[in-house]
Amino acid sequence: MQKAVIYGAGEHFESLVQLLASSHVLQLCSIVARSTEELSSLADQYDIPIIETLSEAADSDVELVIDFSGRLDHHETKNIFKKNVSVVTSSTAWKFFHSLSGGEGSIPSYRNKLHKINTILDSTHDGMIAINDKFNVTLFNKSAAKMTGQDQEGVIGKPVKDVIPSSQLPRVMIEGKEEINQEQILDNGTKIITTRIPIIDEYGNKMGAFAVFKDITEMINMAEEVTNLKSIQSMLHAIIQSSEEAISVVDEEGKGIMINPAYTKLTGLKSDQVIGKPATIDISEGESIHMQVLKTRKPVRGARLKVGPQKRDVVVNVAPIIVDGVLKGSVGVIHDVSEIKSLTEELSRARQIIRTLEAKYTFEDIKGESEEMTFAVEQARLAASTPATVLLRGESGTGKELFAHAIHNGSNRKYNKFIRVNCAAISESLLESELFGYEEGAFSGAVRGGKRGLFEEANGGSIFLDEIGELAPAMQAKLLRVLQEKEIRRVGGTKSISINVRVIAATNINLERKIADGAFREDLYYRLNRMPIYIPPLRARKQDIRMLAEHLIKKLNQDYGKNIEEITKQAEEILKQYEWPGNVRELENVLGRAMIHMEPHEQKISGVHIDLPVQIKLEDSHKRIISLNDIESLSVQMDKVEKRILSDTLAEVDGNKTKCAKVLGISLRNLYYKLEKYGIQTED
């Protein structure tokens, strides 16, 4: 609203004051005239000060002077106000404001039009802001308030920099140049695109500036999302096309929408033979897994099929594509079984190599919650914390090697080498050179410079001597020296080499019997038997069968490319009824055999899949049928026979131990050992 001053008084003076006082266009600031009683009364009525000279209004923001005197000099006015101030005669002002007082040009009509304009400005989605030549806000619509977070009514009249600190409107007004579609970030982070226009009157005077702007934050975010989606789509397409895995994708109706070069290479089918065709187009034998997944909305893994004209044997993994709960199709990854077999064989060879260099199992790999197995594991953990020699005892297939690995990995030697030696698999003539190494020229064919033995290779680590009971007497003596002296001597060498090796031995035979028979050194036995650990057979811990089966199934799934989940309760009960002479190794074989013969879609091993060996039946002298479960082990039966022979012979010689030993052809010392072993009491 512009400020005005009336200079002088005259005709229509009182009427004009009344119009200006009620006008929303101009604000009457003061009257420059000699004070009279009538004038003072009018000024008091409308709260308008009376001043004597025009210069007293110079400090006001006056923009219009209404001259009733007819004598006001424009140059004088310019000098007084130091700026462009409009001067109009009283008659001109009267005609203008009188025209606004009635008819089409009346003030109510003007207000109505102004209200309509403001309504239009407030209803637009574009923000609008205008300033005057003092940089104060004169227009601020609802959209501008929403985008800036400001109060629409509260900002009118405020400096624009207080409302929008980053506003460029003052600069645009000063420079007098419009700016079109400029990006700007408001202080609240809103991104806008704005057009700024200077407001210049017909005389070239700069009256202010106006800006209209649009919030583009959402548009930019949407554009970024679209760009990201396109980027992700391109990236996924590139990954699928470059993957060495054969991939096929179908839509929700089961029609092909994408394949990659690896798929064409495997099946022999090109894009034009698959895209838009039913998912069954590539199957030679079997049912479409894509259609099965689309029907059930559940993934399928490890399905066996034959695909393409060449009927390639493959394993298929298919998963549904679900977006916001809506099924959009499915994607399948196809593996060539022949390639899997090749990789499995290569992995097996690698495992054999690694097995000789390091321990790959830990105590976490030992499965079992039975009291017998828990006790064995506790003993093994204790053994791992000490440097003592360990002797692992148990039947074949109980997991002695697994324990040996775990003991090494549980000790402070785990970062050093773990060497495995099967004493029964290496000939006696080679075993010494393998264990202790040899010097150059030690024998025909010896490598130039000699060779380090396995004990030297294991220095600082552990050496696992499996089947220790099969060592020849000569090798037993040499091993005893290693355990006693902590040093070895190479074949053909004269110098002893100190070593720091933890020995873990294992056997599945009765060492005590071999000692009694003179086939195993008693002193070596006591050296090895410092920390004995007995690993129970599977028949003694049948409650562990389910846990062992689940662990073995995971391993066999990797070996066979299967996706078996578990065994049923029925299968578990069948497995528990068997006596497992081959222990855990035999259990693994039974489960593996079951998995091989299962159908591709089957995921649980049930009783029908279990194929156990026929349990032998024997007839005793009374023609009574007894099952294998009733037969005691050979060693137990031999011990009973030996005990009976000893007792009967002692009775025949009236308890004379010397005579008894002579009759039986054994040493007296050996006789005393056997009597103590079987608890046979005699009178001295």
pLDDT at 317 over 60: yes
Same fold, 3-103 and 359-536: yes
pLDDT at 465 over 90: yes
Instruction: Please write the tens of the pLDDT for every residue from 342-399.
Output: 666 665 555 554 444 567 888 988 999 999 899 999 999 999 999 899 999 999 999 9
CA angle 607, 286, 330 (to 5 degrees): 100
Instruction: Please write the tens of the pLDDT for every residue from 250-278.
Output: 999 999 988 999 888 888 888 889 899 99
DSSP 95-147: HHHHHHTSGGGSHHHHHHHHHHHHHHHHHSSSEEEEEETTSBEEEE-HHHHHH
% of residues, the chain, pLDDT over 90: 28
Instruction: Please write the tens of the pLDDT for every residue from 188-204.
Output: 888 888 999 998 876 67
Could you tell me which CATH number the domain at 3-103 has?
3.40.50.720
Q: What are the extents of the domains in the chain?
A: 3-103, 119-219, 244-340, 359-536, 539-609, 634-678
Of 32-36, 169-173, 177-181, the range with the lowest mean pLDDT is 32-36
The predicted structure's pLDDT at residue 32: 83
Write the CA distances from 473 to 75, 392, 422, 464, 518, integer angstroms. Answer: 135, 20, 16, 19, 10
- What the block records as the tokens of 550 is 């689940």
First vs last C-alpha separation in the chain: 137
pTM equals 0.42
Name the architecture of domain 119-219: 2-Layer Sandwich (3.30)
- Which class does domain 359-536 fall in? alpha beta
246 close to 263: Cβ distance less than 8 angstroms: yes
Name the architecture of domain 634-678: Orthogonal Bundle (1.10)
- Relative to beta strand 437-438, strand 451-452 is antiparallel
Could you tell me which CATH number the domain at 539-609 has?
1.10.8.60
The predicted structure's pLDDT at residue 125: 80
Bridge partners of 275, per DSSP, are 256
How many Å apart are CA 308 and CA 243, to the nearest integer? Answer: 19
CATH for 244-340, options being 3.40.640.10, 1.10.760.10, 3.30.450.20, 3.30.70.3270: 3.30.450.20
pLDDT band for 622, please (50, 70, 90 cuts).
very low
- Percent composition of the chain: helix, strand, coil (DSSP 3-state, to 5): 45, 25, 30
* Overall average pLDDT of the 142-170 stretch: 89
